[in-house]
Amino acid sequence: MIKSLFAKIRDNMKEKIFMFGYYGWKNTGDDAMIYVLIQEFFRKYPLLEFVIVSQESLEIPVGTENFVRFIEMNPFVILKEILSSSTVLWGGGTFMYDHTNTQRQFVNLSMILALIVLSKLLKKEVYLLSIGVEPLTTRIGKFLSKSICRLSGFVSVRDSISLNTLENLGLNEIKLSFDLSALLEPRKCHKKTENKILGMSILPFFSIYHNDPEKDMLMVYEIAKALKKWFLKDKGNIIYLFTFKGKSKDDDVEITKILEEKLDQKDRVMIIPYKKDPLDSLALFSCCDAFVGMRYHSCVFAYLSDIPLLIINYFQKCGSLAEDTGMMSAALISPEDILEGKFGGYLENFMRKPEDFKAKLPTLEARSMAKEGLPFSSDVRGFKGGII
């Protein structure tokens, strides 16, 4: 049997991990996951070298600067790095789904499968860590996803619905964990006002997944209408609009700016721009008294900050977060419900009894589950490379 990566490390041999995912697209959630992966692997095995495919350099933990390299999306460079790596790793994020942008997803899944097949032919270990899986509705999508998992030595998923989806494909050695960002070490925000601060994150859902920007504008209109009423209840109320995906493909920048303009309260609305360091973004959540989240990781950050949360459930992963953390069903509203004018009622209930909208799962338990999703967990089963 090929000696595992971690067995080699025990023999004091310097090893290299090749990491790929949706990195470098100014997405706070992806930034958080790669930060945590480097943090946790480096703590456990300080001899490791990391090579990461990314559109640009990212914030990394202090002390790891000499062990991390970022490379461009170039097939020849990627092949060279895989050849000299011990392990190929996909860290976090949702990449298995086919219910929207179907043709594009087939291409994405096929490329990932090809990369994994190449890695296996080169006798590399392959791990998928704390990934998310959305509904798989086509034979091709199911085949590609199943093949990707079967070729991987260890697979962990971040939520129970992802686990059920893969188990329904006949994949039984999948580890249930939690989102990697739970392992961030938060900094506290020093709140400078006694006024209520409502945090919010939105994204152009209908434009990205349904090519229908008009519905996004209607969604913004309905949200702004409800928030204006909330402003009237107390002249001290403040809104922080978080940009969780900075200027890039499918970003939040424009739709967030449009919402700010619709609210027309420059002195009471603050746009929090994308921040390269995910810890800076997380710290600002502790300044908020409550949060309305659409981007998945904005919801995770609100949960980690132990504040009341109303989730705009645009993808199954958001609903799964609510279910796994013990939130009530009334804490979820769909984009379609917003279009039908229901956001105002949800917001009113949310602000009237915010404590009812807090998760029941202790964050310490979520952190423990997130650690279980890493391949050096003491009770990992189905880990072909061996157990540390």
pLDDT at 6 (0 to 100): 53
pLDDT at 7 (0 to 100): 54
In percent, the amount of the chain with pLDDT more than 90 equals 79
Mean pLDDT of 191-218: 93
**Banded pLDDT at 377 (limits 50, 70, 90):** low
Domain boundaries, given as residue ranges, for the chain: 5-176, 197-362
- Using alpha carbons, select from 18, 42, 22, 44 the residue that is nearest to residue 33: 22
Fold of 5-176: Rossmann fold (3.40.50)
pLDDT digits (tens, 9 = 90+) for 171-190: 999 999 999 999 998 877 77
**Axis crossing angle, helix 160-167 with helix 316-324, rounded to the nearest 10:** 110
**Residues 116/88, Cβ–Cβ less than 8 Å:** yes
pLDDT digits (tens, 9 = 90+) for 231-265: 999 889 999 999 999 998 899 999 999 999 999 99
From residue 228, alpha-carbon distances to 55, 217, 233 in Å are 38, 16, 9
- Which CATH class name applies to 197-362? alpha beta
Specify the higher pLDDT residue, 292 or 134. Answer: 292
Mean pLDDT of 9-22: 73
Pairwise CA distance, residues 278 & 300, whole Å: 12
pLDDT digits (tens, 9 = 90+) for 309-350: 999 999 999 999 999 999 999 999 999 999 999 999 999 999
**Residue the block writes with tokens 């449009």:** 258
pTM of the predicted model, to two decimals? 0.91
Mean pLDDT of 371-376: 91
**Banded pLDDT at 11 (limits 50, 70, 90):** very low
Specify the higher pLDDT residue, 100 or 290. Answer: 290
**Banded pLDDT at 382 (limits 50, 70, 90):** very low
- Rounded to the nearest integer, the mean pLDDT of the chain is 91
Residue 10 scores a pLDDT above 70: no
**Banded pLDDT at 5 (limits 50, 70, 90):** low
Mean pLDDT of 280-305: 97
